[in-house]
Amino acid sequence: MRLVILGCGTSTGVPVIGCHCEVCASANPLNKRTRSSLLVQVNGKNILIDTSTDLRSQSLANGVESIDAVLYTHPHADHIHGIDELRAFNLAAGGAAIPCFGGEHTIERIRTMFDYIFREDGRDGWKPNLTTNIIRSPFDLFGEKIVPVEVMHGQTAIYGYRIGDMAYITDCSAIPEGTLPVLRGVKILILGALRQKPHPTHFSITEAIAASQAISAHRTVFTHLSHNVDYARDNPALPPGIEFAFDGMALEV
């Protein structure tokens, strides 16, 4: 399994529009962060986790020319608003539909917010060809077991995903006790760690370190990073086995 972190930024991306802080003004390419998304390459298939706002530029930057399925974590704008870009992948696949998977609330919100995609009244032109699938339990996809992992994003329960020895959890402020056994011992954990200061709906870096240690991940990569995180300054201070992501980072499982 090969993983490509297409984007590792929070909802604003980095640099933030109108901000002139040290990180936003940095020339270091590792401080340039598009919105969070992950490409999972397994068994000859490309599985995308979330259609971020920056999906087009991410795909071009990383040479992504096919998407075989999409897993959605939750329906916040930075995780779903790139959905229209999927039509280019339909075209590349000869028009074949792309199956999309997510929790009930997420799928309902997508079908409501992007209703033009799913209407069949002929009023719209070129649009994505998608099927939607509500998931509540593990399922098989392209020969891999996909395990939806419930975590808390503030007061809202959303999904992360475990696929084999990899787990991907972005917007998270708490991991329920019942979820921890599903995650323990993964070889690669990609986990949201917004900034140094506490936040009501996201792990701080300190909280994310504690979560990684509770899960006993072999290697942890922090994603969904804000402009408070300077890669060159802050990455060396992390404990062994934990590091910050950067856009285009590739990982082998």
Q: Which of 53, 71, 62, 46 is nearest to 6 (CA)?
A: 62
Q: How far apart are CA 162 and CA 148, in angstroms?
A: 7
Q: What integer pLDDT is reported at residue 206 of this predicted model? A: 98
Report percent pLDDT > 70 for the chain: 100
Q: How far apart are CA 211 and CA 172, in angstroms?
A: 10
Residues found in the chain: 253
Confidence (pTM): 0.97
Kindly state the average pLDDT of the residues 138-154.
98
CB 50 within 8 A of CB 37: yes
Q: What integer pLDDT is reported at residue 123 of this predicted model? A: 85
Q: How far apart are CA 55 and CA 86, in angstroms?
A: 9
pLDDT of residue 39 exceeding 90, the answer is yes
Kindly state the average pLDDT of the residues 15-37.
98
Q: Which of 113, 115, 132, 129 is nearest to 72 (CA)?
A: 132
pLDDT of residue 125 exceeding 90, the answer is no
CB 36 within 8 A of CB 50: yes
Give CA 216 to chain center in angstroms: 21
Q: How far apart are CA 172 and CA 175, in angstroms?
A: 7
Q: Write the CATH number of the domain with boundaries 2-252.
A: 3.60.15.10
Q: What integer pLDDT is reported at residue 191 of this predicted model? A: 98
CB 220 within 8 A of CB 241: yes
Q: What integer pLDDT is reported at residue 15 of this predicted model? A: 98
Report whether the peptide linkage leading into residue 15 is cis, meaning its omega lies within 30 degrees of zero. Answer: yes
Q: What integer pLDDT is reported at residue 124 of this predicted model? A: 86
* Residues in contact with 122: Cβ distance below 8 Å, sequence separation at least 6, in sequence order: none
Kindly state the average pLDDT of the residues 70-95.
98
Kindly state the average pLDDT of the residues 131-155.
98
Kindly state the average pLDDT of the residues 203-224.
98
Q: What integer pLDDT is reported at residue 88 of this predicted model? A: 98
Q: What integer pLDDT is reported at residue 24 of this predicted model? A: 98
Residue with tokens 């995308």: 48
pLDDT band at 245 (very low <50, low <70, confident <90, very high): very high
- Average per-residue pLDDT in the chain? 97
129 Rama class: left (phi>0) / alpha (psi -120 to 50) / beta: beta
- Would you kindly state where each structural domain of the chain is located, as residue ranges? 2-252
